[in-house]
Structure 1
């Protein structure tokens, strides 16, 4: 039987500590003015804690698997030429978009094991992240990842209507494993994944994804057996 404490006491990412502290102080101060405000503040503090939750994930050890970099819902699957900021091959490829609402875990994870060859940050607007034009006009951070086989994937963190801060822990020249944490976005946003030309997605529109666990595509043979790694 699973331990209920593991469900309730989910680890929090260090990025959220200052926000939880601020919400806590606010709840106490407003509670002095009017007691019911304390309980409203307490509820918001709990929500803030869970927004920054960082649960352990079981990463599929399937060679060639492209993992979801975010928790959320597949909101768009479309064919297009990658944006210039990714410096990818100028050929039409599949873009998978994952929308995260304010209740999703917002820690982003690497879709494949590989070398980060490019990190490019662009200032922009804060349109609704579910809109297609958000990929072009919104504040965003783009990463290009090259696998050991030479295949390249683009991942773009996109700020949304509520999200006003993109955090990226990875730098150009870093080599990370699939499922490793590379960033997060505050508070509600979207991630776009650009697959290599000729690679078809296994994900479906409307599918719920789990960062570091859900397989979006396979760069090699799709029927290889897989194991799990907990990180």
Structure 2
């Protein structure tokens, strides 16, 4: 490797990193939500980390001794349904969108201490290898912000180790339309989506989804 190459490569890497952090993550792509009654849209760009059944208000994780309580996790009282986790990476658009329309309910859960969201598991997921982040301590312990909408659908933003660096666009009681912006996640991270019991997930682990466009769930017998 020549001396010039040794000098140029680090500068190019630094320039790319600065561009991603300072420009690329703030892009605001045009999204056209499908006109599809009963569809639940993806709340964010990213990779599906897990799709779990909610039973009796709890989600069971093989790596944990006790099930996770959905009310503790998201602040919502979902007794039966589904929990989907989306990992928003550094190259994904960082906007969060309303998966369905409705009047917003807002819950913010503080944390005494935020911890990393899985470390090696997060890296593996970003590289495209399925890694279930639900069993990591940060998902249940870190700061979280939940927006509930119609039909038992909710979106929870989970903080990383440095806190929840997010801007929320909806307040309690605001009306939202499917595909409209809910928030901006400055650092990306984990987004949780709850679906009601009469919904069927349309995605699987390791699927890539596009916010406001990909149908991730379908509610039977309802127009949401």
2:219, 2:157 → 1: CA distance?
22
Question: Offset of 1:118 from its aligned partner?
Answer: 3.0
Kept in 2, the 8 Å contact 1:163–1:188? The answer is no
Q: 1:220 to 1:168 in 2, by over 3 A?
A: same
Kept in 1, the 8 Å contact 2:114–2:163? The answer is no
In structure 1, the gaps of 5 or more residues are 1-34, 225-231
**1:139 corresponds to 2:143:** yes
Q: 1:36 to 1:62 in 2, by over 3 A?
A: closer
SS in structure 2 of the partner of residue 97 of structure 1:
strand
SS in structure 2 of the partner of residue 171 of structure 1:
coil
Kept in 2, the 8 Å contact 1:163–1:186? The answer is no
The partner residue of 1:87 within 76, 87, 90 is 76
Length-normalised TM-score, structure 2: 0.73
Query: Where does residue 119 of structure 1 map in the other structure?
Result: 107
Query: Where does residue 107 of structure 1 map in the other structure?
Result: 95
The count of corresponding residues between Structure 1 and Structure 2 is: 185
Query: Where does residue 220 of structure 1 map in the other structure?
Result: 220
**1:155 corresponds to 2:124:** no
Q: 1:187 to 1:162 in 2, by over 3 A?
A: farther
What RMSD over aligned residues (CA atoms) do the two structures have, in Å? Answer: 2.6
1:181, 1:122 → 2: CA distance?
23
In the TM superposition, what are the counterparts of 1:186-225 in structure 2 within 5 Å? 186-220=186-220
Measured against aligned partners, the alpha-carbon deviations of 1:1-44 in whole angstroms (never above 9, x if no partner) come to xxxxxxxxxxxxxxxxxxxxxxxxxxxxxxxxxx9997665433
**1:75 corresponds to 2:63:** no
- The answer to which structure, 1 or 2, has the higher relative contact order (CA under 8 A, 6+ apart) is 2
SS in structure 2 of the partner of residue 195 of structure 1:
strand
Query: Where does residue 46 of structure 1 map in the other structure?
Result: 19
